[in-house]
Structure formats: C-alpha cells, structure tokens
Amino acid sequence: MKRFQAAALAATLLAVAAPASAQAPIRIGLVLPYSAGPFVAIANEITDSMALALEETGYMVAGRKIELVREDTAHKPDVAQAKAKKLVFEDKVDMLVGPVASAELTALFDFAHQAKVPLVIPNAGDNEVTGEKCSPWVLRTSFSNDQIVRDMGRWMAAKGFKKVALLAFDYKAGHQLMGGFKKPFVEAGGTIVTEQYPPFGRLSDFGPWLGRIRDAKPDAIFSFFAGPPATLLVQQFQEFGLDREMKLTGAGWLVSPLNLPSQGKAAAGVIGALNYVPAIDNPVNKSYQERFQAKFKRVGSEFGAQGYDTAKLIHAALAQAGGKTDDKAGLVKAMHAVKIEGTRGPLRIDPKTNNVVQDIYVFETEMQGDAVGYKVLDRIRDVQDPPNGCTLGG
C-alpha cells in the first residue's frame, strides 16, 4: 500500500511540475470548404499536402504532438466564421489556417483580428488583406494578387508583346489582377487594346469576348480564370483559331495541373506567371512531387505546394518558439523570424505587411511526349509587396 501511495504521489508531483503546454498537443485549425462550392478540390489539395509536410516531422515539434483539426465552411462566409469560433473557443486550437477564397476571408479576418488569434492564409489573394486593411494577427503564405502579375507586365513588354487584350471575370480579384498587370505593362511601353470583364459566375461561351479580341488584333491575351472557366477559355481559344494569331497568357491558374486533364492538348503553348509550377527544379519540390504523386496518383498543384509550404513554415516557427503556443504574439513573431526552403524556393513572411516574400515563375506549357507539361522560362526572385497602406512596419 505504501509503495502504491508513493508511486501515486510521484505521478502527481510530475504532473504538477510539467507545464500544461508540454503535455497538450499543438492544435492547428483548418477552416476550408470541404463539402460545397467550386473550391472543394483545392481545400483537399491544401490539407493533403499539409499532412505530407507534417508526416516528415512525425507530427512533433519541441516535444509536443501536432494535430490538424478540420472544419468545413461549406463555402459560406457566415459558416466559416462560426466554425472558426468553434475551433478557437471549444476545440482550443492554437492557430487557424484558411480559407481558399476571398469571399470567406473577410469573415475569418474579422474574427482573427478581434480575437487576436493567428490566422495563416494558404490561398486567398486579396491585396487589401496585407495592404491597407492588414492585421498583426493575419499572415499569408500564398500570394497577393498584385504579387503574382506585377512583374509579368514588364516581362511581356520586354519579350516583344506590345499590344495586349485583358480578359477576366468582373469581380474584385479579376480587377486586382488585371490592374496589377496593366500599370507596369503600360509604363514599359505596352498598349492595352481592349479590356473586358464577363459577369462572374457560370460561363458557357467565351465567343462574344473572343470575337471582340480578334477584331482588336493584339499580340496576346492576358487573362485570369481558374477551374472550369479556365478550361473553357483554353479550349475555345484553340477552337476559334486564335492560337494562330496571338498568344494566350495570364495568371498561371489558367493551366493548373488540376485543369490539364480536361484541357488536353489545347493547353500547349500557354504562357503563365505564378508562384509555383511543378517543373521547379529544387530538391524540396522534387521530393514533394514524388511523395504526392506516389500517394495520390496525380501531379501536385500550386494549391498543394502552398499547403505543404504553409505547414513547413508553421513547423519552423513552432520550433523557433520552443513549442510554446500560449503567447500568441510570440508565435506571430516566430513566424516573422523563420525562413524556409519550400517547394517554391526560399520564402519568408514580411513583418511590414505579413505577406509572403517569394520567387515568381514565368512558364510555358508544351507537349512533352503525349502529354502537356511545363517549362520554366524565367524566375523573378524575392518578390516583395510594398506596404500598400499597411502600417505594421511603423
């Protein structure tokens, strides 16, 4: 009996002596649209790739286990905010990761800012979130819309594309991306011959817009579309014979690995600019693609790469903080302090804006055997947004 009492006392003393944080797992709340809307595939791509990155660490950092806790936003802003509150107040997560699209970002942004909980954005690109509306609690590992296309205007002008037609959906991201391309392109001597914004939503025919572009006789179209509309544009560009008159270019989501199976050979010859392309030649990306393709039997996309790099950066920050998560401001400071080698090359978080600093790649799709593949044409290093009204840097 005495031996039992002594053992029980020793266990109690150990439990009291050990800090609570050393015993509890670190919990990362994922707030993504898993069940509804056009971004379910992207949500799963991000989550699967974060899991791949954490598998490499054994889901451990500084002696603490790491857990991913998933909540489905159903692609609705009010649901996204409700699920974020549940994750923080009921599930006791230490930080949030999400969303995919800017429509849900506003709801998550407001909650994270008010609750002073770190929110890491793995995809949505609204410029204002790391610009004039920036928050010390909201960080982005993906991109700002302007960051993707800003240097592409100068690049295309230097390559001899003097007349360009702009084409994007009529919504905030469409206008931000076209504006981000247009200003430096015009400053470099280029001319915008036509600028068109079809209504955002389901689109079954690009014919009217492509007809006006043909009449304007540009050297190239610069566009922003993703998902099924991107596939439709690529196919109709070829069907209308425009591929014999001009170049199709744009933000690289136009020919994402998620779209290529549907686009087929029509996707060959497109020039894109993006923060990731599967053909990037570095050890981290090669390892990521090998593991992703072995597990999921398809090429990992830019969305998956962002998820993988997000988990790597969070893990590095947790290691920097010694696994301590009670001090949320300290956790944000640790994310500012680390720099990782990701699938995209070196990347870090700029403390002046909380936006990622990363390389941008210009690439072209081409036939590689019987399939369409990617060839990197140029690499623009260390692309960093100006503050754009953000005052985090003082």
Mean pLDDT value of segment 347-373: 97
d(CA 268, CA 209): 21
d(CA 320, CA 330): 10
The residue with tokens 């944080």 is 21
Q: How many residues does the chain have?
A: 394
With 60 as the cut, is the pLDDT of residue 225 above it? yes
d(CA 54, CA 69): 13
With 70 as the cut, is the pLDDT of residue 66 above it? yes
Q: What percent of the chain has pLDDT over 70?
A: 94
With 50 as the cut, is the pLDDT of residue 21 above it? no
Write down the pLDDT at residue 201. 79
d(CA 114, CA 95): 14
Write down the pLDDT at residue 203. 86
Inter-residue contact 163 to 193 (CB < 8 Å): yes
What residues form DSSP beta bridges with 385? none
Domains and CATH numbers, the chain: 23-143+280-357 (3.40.50.2300), 147-274 (3.40.50.2300)
With 50 as the cut, is the pLDDT of residue 46 above it? yes
HEC string of 190-240? CEEEEEECCECCCCCCCHHHHHHHHHHCCCEEEEECCHHHHHHHHHHHHHC
Peptide bond into 283 cis (omega under 30): no
With 80 as the cut, is the pLDDT of residue 23 above it? no
Q: What is the pLDDT of residues 120-154, one digit of tens each?
A: 999 999 999 999 999 999 999 999 999 999 999 99
Instruction: Give the strands of the sheet with 138-140, arranged side by side.
Output: 60-61, 64-72, 26-32, 95-97, 119-121, 138-140
Q: What is the pLDDT of residues 80-130, one digit of tens each?
A: 999 999 999 999 999 999 999 888 999 999 999 999 999 999 999 999 999
